[in-house]
């Protein structure tokens, strides 16, 4: 089964992807109290990038975008695993994962 994207369809997908990206940036800028809540908009921005990869792949009839889109969940899973490990260690040491206290961490 082959899918065909007409000339006007990619604009709709790019607009939707742009809206998801803007909401992700807005979510990062507005939620600066909790690191865990700040990581969720980053995942939505990765979803927007993934959507762009897929739309370009279908509209250009190239498999490269789809192969990149299959790697994005891998990167997201690795980011989540490392981020959660940092959250757990920070919570054990500090007792909170509030952003205000992150600048106290010394390396």
pLDDT digits (tens, 9 = 90+) for 46-83: 899 999 998 888 888 888 888 888 888 888 888 888 88
Does pTM surpass 0.85?
Answer: no
Q: Measured between alpha carbons, how far is residue 63 from residues 8, 46, 75 in Å?
A: 21, 19, 19
Q: What is the pLDDT of residue 48?
A: 93
Domain boundaries, the chain: 9-92
Q: Determine whether 52 is exposed, middle or buried from the number of CB atoms within 10 Å of its CB (0-12, 13-18, 19+).
A: buried
Q: Determine whether 68 is exposed, middle or buried from the number of CB atoms within 10 Å of its CB (0-12, 13-18, 19+).
A: middle
- Tell me how far the alpha carbon of residue 19 is from its chain's centroid: 13
Among 39-43, 53-57, 86-90, 94-98, where is mean pLDDT lowest?
94-98
| pLDDT digit string, tens, across residues 4-43 | 655 557 888 899 999 999 999 999 888 877 777 888 888 8
Rounded Cα distance, 9 and 31, in Å: 33
Select from 3.40.50.620, 1.10.287.3510, 3.40.50.970, 1.10.10.60 the CATH code of 9-92. Answer: 1.10.287.3510
Q: Measured between alpha carbons, how far is residue 62 from residues 18, 44, 59, 69 in Å?
A: 22, 24, 8, 12
């Amino acid at each position: 089964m082959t899918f065909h994207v007409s000339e006007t369809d990619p604009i709709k997908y790019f607009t939707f992807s742009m809206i998801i990206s803007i909401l992700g940036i807005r979510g990062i800028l507005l939620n600066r109290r909790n690191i865990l809540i700040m990581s969720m908009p980053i995942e939505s921005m990765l979803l927007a990038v993934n959507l762009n990869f897929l739309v370009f792949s279908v509209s250009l009839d190239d498999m490269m975008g789809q192969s990149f889109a299959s790697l994005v969940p891998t990167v997201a899973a690795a980011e989540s695993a490392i981020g959660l490990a940092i959250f757990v260690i920070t919570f054990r040491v500090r007792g909170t994962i509030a952003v205000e206290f992150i600048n106290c961490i010394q390396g």
